Copies of this chain bind each other. A is one copy, B any other.
Amino acid sequence: MKLLEERIKKDGYILNGNIIKVDSFLNHQLDIEFLSQLSEAIYQHFKDKDINKILTIEASGIALATVLSQKFNYVPVVFAKKQKNKNLGTDVYQSLVKSFTTDKEYTVTVSKKYLNENDNLIIIDDFLAEGNALKGLIDVANQAGSKVSGISVAVEKGFQEGGKIIRDMGYDLLSLAVIKSIENEQFQF
């Protein structure tokens, strides 16, 4: 969508040659009014899918999932945990994920209490690069027997494989902005 592309051009920047930073509005400082506008576009795309729950992952997906819940008549949001936490208990779904950003492995964990076979999900995240976080969330949803009726991310790095992988798996993936390349420190959409 034009709105997000323009915002990335205006406020985005590039770190170390290849890391795209949009932390003034999307994933460190949050512009909630802007995120709400983004979530309206997600809602319009998936509004006829009978979504009854939003699945995301801590931490950067939570704000977008929160405002999207408001569009979907306040369906519950469940955010997967990345850190091992003794207080989650053992009755959990888990999937191992390799992070592109930090180059480390982590475990995506969701309590079995909060995902089940009656759930018709949209999965939300801020960024899509190699698709590993999304694959972890899809794996967890599959373990729970939940249906994944849609996936949406704010920013897809079109020059990495994640978008193709997720679409080849047959999912309806809505990326609000796809960055095709970075040339001379400029974003190309």
A residues with CB within 8 A of B: 15, 19, 21, 23-24, 28-33, 35-36, 58-59, 62-63, 65-67, 69-70, 74, 76-79, 81, 83, 85-89, 101-102, 110-111, 113-114
Residues of B within 8 A of A76 (CB): 29-32
Task: Count the copies.
Answer: 2
What distance in Å separates the Cβ of A81 from its nearest Cβ neighbour in chain B? 7
Give Cα distance in the complex from A74 to B37, angstroms. Answer: 12
Q: Contacting A24 at CB < 8 Å: which of B32, B58, B85, B113? A: B113
Q: Is the CB of A87 within 8 A of B101?
A: yes
29 A-B contacts (beta carbon < 8 Å):
A15-B87, A15-B89, A23-B111, A23-B114, A28-B79, A28-B81, A28-B88, A29-B78, A29-B113, A30-B62, A30-B76, A30-B78, A31-B74, A32-B69, A32-B70, A32-B74, A32-B76, A32-B77, A33-B74, A35-B66, A58-B58, A59-B59, A62-B63, A63-B63, A66-B66, A83-B102, A85-B101, A85-B102, A86-B102
Contact yes or no, A29 B114, CB < 8 A: yes
* CB nearest neighbor in B for A103: B86
In the bound complex, what is the Cα–Cα distance between A24 and B114 (angstroms)? 7
* B28 contacts A111, C-beta separation under 8 Å: yes
Complex CA distance for A74 and B29, rounded to whole angstroms? 12
Docked Cα-Cα span, A114 to B86, in Å, equals: 32
CB distance from A51 to the nearest CB of B (A): 14
Residues of B within 8 A of A78 (CB): 28-30
A173, B9: Cα distance in complex, Å: 40
Q: In the bound complex, do residue B77 and residue A63 qualify as a contact, i.e. CB atoms below 8 Å apart?
A: yes
Residues of B within 8 A of A58 (CB): 58-59
Interface centre among A29, A74, A89 (most CB of B within 10 A): A29
